[in-house]
């Protein structure tokens, strides 16, 4: 019989910490109508995947593509290609609107009218794969989280993969509807809401010209379990942080299991925030 008198040891915080550089970031925010207009503007998005592809993409994917475009444009040392890069994408309730429509439609029309696009475009992996497709990434492209409690998953996965796979860079994406309102049977939000995406470009610490740092640290005193939904989302923490001023600062997010994400930002990075959101009236008109 194996023993369970396990001589486990407290991990040394120094040896189980990961650190990387945050070399660029961007955000985007859209209404449902703006997102639908974006489906016809493939040529403005990375990879120019074609309007027929974007037609079936989820709104969270579209918001991410815009933020990815802006983030990669801000990279201080843009790579020749993103071939070796990876993507980690944390969505929140991806495809809920489209799936609600599908449920209603199925009840009326039966199986033959179920769209073939729901599974490929609304599964947890789909947005990561789409961003990877747009940038031509052949590194790992994975979806994480999926619910309100899923954003912690993105921090630890992106940082550990960047380190483990020796990647030159990682696109880290958070997305969701804010606020998450109820929807009707047609999938239409019952109150005003925005589809939001935050994109960080992470690179190894050796990357020059980077002043922002992300660290995943083990803290024996940090909480092992986190309450849901009391926990703040990464995006709301981020916005809280950047609105606090232009003097630099830090962001700490508890990840559970004694892990924390800590980011230090320099004024240079903050000065470029907030981004001009493409939801301004003239742009909406153009769309």
In the complex, least distance from residue 217 CB atom to another protein, rounded to whole angstroms: 10
Is residue 64 within the footprint of another protein (CB under 8 A)? no
In the complex, least distance from residue 150 CB atom to another protein, rounded to whole angstroms: 6
Residue in 33, 77, 78, 103 binding another protein, rule: CB under 8 A: 103
Residue in 148, 237, 275, 277 binding another protein, rule: CB under 8 A: 148
Distances (CA, A) of 86 to 127, 134, 166, 240: 13, 12, 10, 27
Is residue 278 within the footprint of another protein (CB under 8 A)? no
Residue in 51, 160, 209, 283 binding another protein, rule: CB under 8 A: 160
Is residue 257 within the footprint of another protein (CB under 8 A)? yes
**Which CB atom, from 225 or from 281, has the smaller least distance to another protein?**
225
Residues 217-236 that bind another protein (CB under 8 A): 218, 224-225, 228-229
Is residue 146 within the footprint of another protein (CB under 8 A)? yes
List, as one string, the DSSP characters of 224-265. SS--TTTSPPHHHHHHHHHTT-SS-EEEEEEEETTEEEEEEE
Residue in 64, 94, 201, 263 binding another protein, rule: CB under 8 A: 94
Residues 108-137 that bind another protein (CB under 8 A): 110-112, 114-116, 118-126, 128-130, 132-133, 135-137
Q: Count of CB atoms within 10 A of residue 196's CB?
A: 24
Is residue 3 within the footprint of another protein (CB under 8 A)? yes
**Which CB atom, from 156 or from 242, has the smaller least distance to another protein?**
156
Looking at residue 141, what DSSP letter applies? E
Distance CA 127, CA 240 (A): 26
Q: Backbone phi, then psi, for 142, in 5-degree steps?
A: -130, 150
In the complex, least distance from residue 184 CB atom to another protein, rounded to whole angstroms: 7
Residue in 36, 41, 79, 93 binding another protein, rule: CB under 8 A: 93
In the complex, least distance from residue 109 CB atom to another protein, rounded to whole angstroms: 10
Q: Residue 215 burial by CB count (10 A; 0-12/13-18/19+): exposed, middle or buried?
A: middle
Cα distance from N-terminal residue to C-terminal residue, the chain: 68
Distance CA 75, CA 68 (A): 11
Distances (CA, A) of 247 to 81, 214, 237: 33, 18, 17
In the complex, least distance from residue 279 CB atom to another protein, rounded to whole angstroms: 23
Distance CA 133, CA 47 (A): 7
Tokens matching residue 136: 């031509």
């Amino acid at each position: 019989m194996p023993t369970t008198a396990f001589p486990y040891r407290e991990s040394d915080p120094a040896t189980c910490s990961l650190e990387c550089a945050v070399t660029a970031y961007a955000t985007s925010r859209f209404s449902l109508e703006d997102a639908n207009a974006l489906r016809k503007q493939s040529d403005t998005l990375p990879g120019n995947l074609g309007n027929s592809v974007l037609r079936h993409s989820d709104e969270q994917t579209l918001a991410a593509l815009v933020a990815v475009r802006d983030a990669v444009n801000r990279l201080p040392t843009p790579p020749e290609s993103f071939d070796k890069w990876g993507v980690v994408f944390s969505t929140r309730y991806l495809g809920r609107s489209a799936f609600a429509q599908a449920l209603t439609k199925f009840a009326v029309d039966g199986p033959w009218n179920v769209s073939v696009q729901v599974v490929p475009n609304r599964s947890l992996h789909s947005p990561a794969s789409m961003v990877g497709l747009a940038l031509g990434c052949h590194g790992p492209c994975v979806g994480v989280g999926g619910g309100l409690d899923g954003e912690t998953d993105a921090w630890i996965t992106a940082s550990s993969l960047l380190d483990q796979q020796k990647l030159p860079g990682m696109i880290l994406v958070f997305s969701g509807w804010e606020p998450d309102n109820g929807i009707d049977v047609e999938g239409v939000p019952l109150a005003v809401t925005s589809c939001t995406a935050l994109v960080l470009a992470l690179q190894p610490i050796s990357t020059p010209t980077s002043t922002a740092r992300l660290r995943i640290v083990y803290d024996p005193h940090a909480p092992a379990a986190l309450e849901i939904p009391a926990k703040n989302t990464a995006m709301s923490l981020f916005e809280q942080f950047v609105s606090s001023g232009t003097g630099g600062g830090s962001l700490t997010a508890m990840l559970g299991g004694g892990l924390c994400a800590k980011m230090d930002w320099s004024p240079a990075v903050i000065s470029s925030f907030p981004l001009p959101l493409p939801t301004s009236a003239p742009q909406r008109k153009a769309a």
